[in-house]
Amino acid sequence: MNIIITGASKGIGKAIAEQFAQDGHTILLCSRGEKTLYDAVSDLMTRFPQSTIKGKAYDMSDKLSVIEFAKWCLNYGTPDIVVNNAGQFIPGSIHDEEEGILELMMETNLYSAYHLTRQLLPEMIKAAQGHIFNICSIASLQAYANGGSYSISKFALLGFSKNLREELKPKGIKVTAVCPGATLSSSWDGVAIDPKRIMEIEDVAKMVFAAAKLSPMAVVEDIVMRPQLGDL
């Protein structure tokens, strides 16, 4: 299978790549930072020689970069699985966050998925198969203090997922919205937290992998995950 994962140099994106790499696939990765991306590609290639791992650095908040990434991916054939994971978290409140934060959150967390999906879908529709995962958030479901424009963008991403699901039902393409709660990723760097109070990135990756393994007649529309003790 051809598997595309954005925001894949670390965290949930890389963990998802690890899950699929164990099976032997062509996995195409991107992130903004060249060094962290190519370090991740090298690590995955060493650990999972049964898979073909490729990576290219693109800024997914920029529409032209997204289009270039899509063209690069299509050189390897029709995508089977697309994981729209690229995103950024900037905490704050709507009434006093810096000017431009909403635009940045929308460009990174919503438009990246929107533009990439639109570029890839014509070939996927021709093949009448495929699976799109949009990595949303608990912030897509429930407003919370300090969520600000991040939460707005994640609500929008969930809306995108639900509309896409309806459109693609008759075309043989599955759509899954993944809404993880607090997960020990780079968003929590510098925060002192009990690791037993937060989910592991592998938890999310395993759920995505499991949902991708269902028969063509079944789809998991929504995956909602929280730490066992509840939201932080």
How many other C-beta atoms can be found within 10 angstroms of the C-beta atom of residue 130?
A: 23
Query: Could you tell me whether strands 81-84 and 173-180 are parallel, antiparallel, or unpaired per DSSP bridges?
Result: unpaired
Residue 150 appears among annotated catalytic residues: yes
**CA–CA separation, 195 and 227 (whole Å):** 10
Closest CA to 6 of 112, 78, 110: 112
**CA–CA separation, 177 and 188 (whole Å):** 22
CA angle 60–38–22, rounded 5-degree value? 95
> How far is residue 90 CA from its own chain's centroid?
17
Catalytic, out of 58, 111, 114, 150: 150
Closest CA to 152 of 83, 91, 73, 232: 91
Structure tokens given for 171: 């075309």
* Residues noted as catalytic: 150
